[in-house]
Amino acid sequence: MIEEIVFALAVFAFGLSLLTFIDTFRKEIASIRPKRAALYLTLILFAVFFFLPIWLALTTSLKTDVEVTTSSPFLPSTSPTLDAYGEALGKLGRPMINSLMFATGAVVFSVLIGSVLGYILSKIRFKHATLVFLIVSAGTFLPYTTIVFPLFRTIGGLGLAYSIPGMILTHMIYGIPVCALLFRNFYEEIPQSTVDKARKRGAGDWKIYRKIILPASGTAIVTVVMYQFTSIWNDYLFGLVLGGGPTQAMPVTVQLGNLFQGTLSWSVLMAGAIIVLLPVVLLYIFLQKYFMRGMGAKA
């Protein structure tokens, strides 16, 4: 029953994405100019090239082991089966819950803190503001590999290694700088004169944030949430070092990687990949309008 639901969600996500693309393409093709035909053709080819691995994973996941080795990977199965999804869910169930738990917690806290920092960096003038901005900016460019050992020592010293709270804290701290910079870029679009007028009327910084900045942050919040959730959900290194075993805080990406080290079939591996991909795809499908609007505002 569960595998049927997962497969139905995957088909729904694929169909909705395809309909959205067709609708957008139909509107654009009506006003296309001959000079732009080559550009659109190139974009379509890139889209097909990008989607090809997902199509191969989907077709392979619906085949038996015999069909995987005897039929073309580009063609769907003549008698599709969901057995691979049931087996993959049995391996990925608990790790997927782990990932949803710490991704949700880390996104909430990092977005809240990043929003406040973005307001401070964009609208509050204080001494050494440039230095603070440079320090926060530096945090967005720190490679995972350079901090993983001191991070492990720190989280272990707090007694949070191999736990959901430890994973939440790790991703929250690492995500705050990039969230703050994204919010800062959005808040730069809010006129400084609006903030100055509120200050002249006696409003404090916290009241300005609550009454002026936060109500105008809807699109920004959606964009940052999507970015941060995708980054945390796809993380592998932090989960490998700090996630622990399957019964502790192992994320679904690490468990998916473990499937490749076992003796499972290609259809089970591809079904696992589709299952792991599904939450991010659904998130982008339902929030894409706000995401594109937010990226436009950011640009």
Give the CATH number of the domain where residue 133 resides.
1.10.3720.10
Q: Do both 54 and 95 map to the same domain?
A: no
Which of 17-31, 55-69, 208-222, 225-239 is least confident?
17-31
pLDDT at residue number 291: 62
Per-position b or e across 35-44, b if 16+ CB within 10 A of its CB: eeeeeeeeee
* Per-residue pLDDT band at 299 (split at 50, 70, 90): very low
Domain interval for residue 160: 91-298
Whether residue 282 is contained in a domain is answered as: yes
Per-position b or e across 240-269, b if 16+ CB within 10 A of its CB: ebbbbebebbbbbbbbbebbeeeebbbbbb
Q: Do both 122 and 255 map to the same domain?
A: yes
Number of other CB atoms surrounding residue 86 within 10 Å: 17
CA distance 69 to 189: 56
Q: Which of these, 94, 98, 66, 95, lies nearest to 79 by C-alpha position?
A: 66
Whether residue 128 is contained in a domain is answered as: yes
* Per-residue pLDDT band at 29 (split at 50, 70, 90): low
What's the token pair of residue 111? 């977005």
Task: Provide the whole-model pTM.
Answer: 0.80
pLDDT at residue number 146: 81
Q: Do both 61 and 104 map to the same domain?
A: no
